Amino acid sequence: MKRFVLGAAVTALLCGFAAPEATKDRAYYESRGEIIWEVPGESKRIALTFDDGPYPETTEPILDLLKEYHAKATFFVVGTRVEAFPDTIKREIAEGHEVANHTFHHYFLQKKNNETVQNEIVRTEQALEHVTGKKPLLFRPPGGFYNEQMIAIAKKYGYTTVLWSWHQDTNDWRSPGVQKIVNKVLNNARNGDIILLHDYVPHSMQTVEALRLILPELQRRGYEMVTVTDLIHNRDGVLNPY
């Protein structure tokens, strides 16, 4: 389920208490490189991201399609599934994709205390290090929910928090229909987009089927499909300060 952080004043009105100090806005976090929504530029690069896996039933055919179209992607993985399906993680790495931290239990972290937030990040980091031998560097909070404390903890552990382009939330986790997923991506594709998809949608192959249409069309339009890290660090061929 995907949502965005509510402003403090709106939350206060809904809940009937005095508003605390205003939540820092997107511009604040973007200027500090602490949260990234997209990386616009002149080059036709785009980042496909997949949340909540690994889940071999859908992740493996997604990997097959990415390989067919010479596309790279970033997989934001859940620690419990990393432990359950290490071979799929190994395949993602072997085929040049990026694996990133999406917590251990997929909790909505804005409602959790600092110790829980820390444990959710660290346990997934440890699971990935055990499988891949490398520490992940990108973090995405489940649902896109965040607060200042969570961002600070992620930064403490060496992570950049990555969300997604607001016009590229496919809602594929709802299984809205293959064509709706396709239209969302293709009708809104822009340079530097970070596209939100899921490789864990039990009992649905809609994302896989949508990719059969999305990948060749993006390729036909001249887009290079890269990892989020490549998108961040190679904006128009120049190292990005993020």
Whether residue 170 is predicted with pLDDT greater than 60 in this model: the reply is: yes
How many whole angstroms separate alpha carbon 215 and alpha carbon 67?
11
Whether residue 201 is predicted with pLDDT greater than 60 in this model: the reply is: yes
pTM above 0.75, yes or no: yes
Query: If pLDDT is split at 50, 70 and 90, which confidence band does 19 have?
Result: very low
In a domain? residue 13: no
pLDDT per residue as tens digits for the range 46-77: 999 999 999 999 999 999 999 999 999 999 99
Whether residue 238 is predicted with pLDDT greater than 50 in this model: the reply is: no
The range of the structural domain enclosing residue 66 comes to 33-233
In a domain? residue 25: no
In a domain? residue 7: no
How many whole angstroms separate alpha carbon 210 and alpha carbon 205?
9
**Would you state the pLDDT for residue 127?**
98
Query: If pLDDT is split at 50, 70 and 90, which confidence band does 11 have?
Result: very low
In a domain? residue 83: yes
Residue numbers annotated as active site: 51, 198
pLDDT per residue as tens digits for the range 209-219: 999 999 999 99
In a domain? residue 11: no
- Which two tokens mark 139? 């973090």
H-type alpha helices, the chain: 8-15, 26-32, 56-68, 79-84, 86-94, 114-132, 148-156, 178-186, 206-220, 228-233
In a domain? residue 95: yes
In a domain? residue 187: yes
Q: What's the CATH code of the domain at 211?
A: 3.20.20.370
**Would you state the pLDDT for residue 4?**
45
- What percent of the chain is modeled with pLDDT above 90? 86
In a domain? residue 10: no
**Would you state the pLDDT for residue 236?**
57
Whether residue 21 is predicted with pLDDT greater than 60 in this model: the reply is: no
